[in-house]
Amino acid sequence: MVLLANILHDHPAGRCQAIVATAAGLLAPGGTLLVYEWALDDDGAGPPAVALFDLMMLVENEGGAAWPAAQLTAWLETAGLTGIRLRRGAGPIAVLRATAPWP
């Protein structure tokens, strides 16, 4: 298992994709990648706390952002991971879970 926790929002999109690919490459077949991250709804308008965090990232980090869930999912798919699931709790953070395929 590899955990990426609150890392992706600090980087531009191209760097995020590389980070996810590197993390996916560390997994054994059947291994799990967890992404614990601020995830915008696909329309970018919410959840409200995440939209505010996204605004802060625009000011604080050059290229950083709260990425839409669809973008996070796309990076996992591009890295060759499968069974991607997004789960939201009561707070602003989402967890995406993906699995490295068996050969």
- Residue 3: predicted pLDDT: 98
Q: DSSP characters for the chain?
A: -EEEES-GGGS-HHHHHHHHHHHHHTPPTT-EEEEEEEEE-TTS--SHHHHHHHHHHHHHSTT---EEHHHHHHHHHHTT-EEEEEEE-SSSEEEEEEEPPP-
Predicted structure pTM score: 0.94
pLDDT along the chain (103 residues), means of 10: 97 97 98 97 93 92 94 98 96 96 93
Backbone phi, psi, residue 83, to 5°: 60, 40
